[in-house]
Amino acid sequence: MKHSSAEKVWLESNGGKQTLKSFGLACVRDLAPDYLAFFSELGYYFEVDDYILVHAGLSFKHENPLEDHHQLLWIRDWYKDIDFDWLQNRIVVHGHTPIPVKSIQDWSKQVSLWQVLGIDAGCVYQDERYNHLCALELTSKELFFQKNIDYEW
């Protein structure tokens, strides 16, 4: 079966095969219509309170960083370009770029200075510095880490 280029990237490089396997499926087109509708209706970012939650980050080279959908999904190495005037008092919480658990913990203590917090703890990696799922409870600003227990390293 032929896949679109986006599907191929997802399947080959971004956990698509494992996701489909968890559904007991071999092909994206076999997903139930409810799932496909849910995925297609997801936004590229979410704003809540003083937070912008996004997969990868924001490109401040764009007049409105929230309109650059490609960068919201794929950008890396964007911190030097942060426009604090545009950001105002909001904090960007993102994933996409794995960061060692210790670095996330240290970074979270200074989040008000940088107004950014990366929480991708590299759950899929075997390296002990990573291999955790990370969550941030926004109200308390508390981090939670769960070691990947799906694989026997």
Which pTM does this prediction carry? Answer: 0.87
Query: Over the stretch 108-134, which tens digit does the pLDDT of each residue have?
Result: 999 988 999 999 999 988 888 999 999
Q: Are residues 35 and 93 in the same domain?
A: no
Is 152 inside a domain boundary?
Answer: no
DSSP 8-state secondary structure symbol assigned to residue 150: S
Q: Are residues 51 and 3 in the same domain?
A: no
Return the percentage of the chain with pLDDT > 90, whole number. Answer: 69
The more confidently predicted of residues 152 and 8 is 8
Distance between terminal CA atoms of the chain?
33
Q: Are residues 89 and 26 in the same domain?
A: no
Q: Are residues 66 and 138 in the same domain?
A: yes
Range of the domain at 4: 1-40
Q: Are residues 65 and 14 in the same domain?
A: no
Query: Over the stretch 44-83, which tens digit does the pLDDT of each residue have?
Result: 999 999 999 999 999 999 999 999 999 999 999 999 999 9
DSSP assignment string, 63-131: SSGGG-HHHHHH--S-GGG--HHHHTT-EEEE-SS---HHHHHHHHTTHHHHSEEE----TT--STTS-
Distance CA 49, CA 2 (A): 43
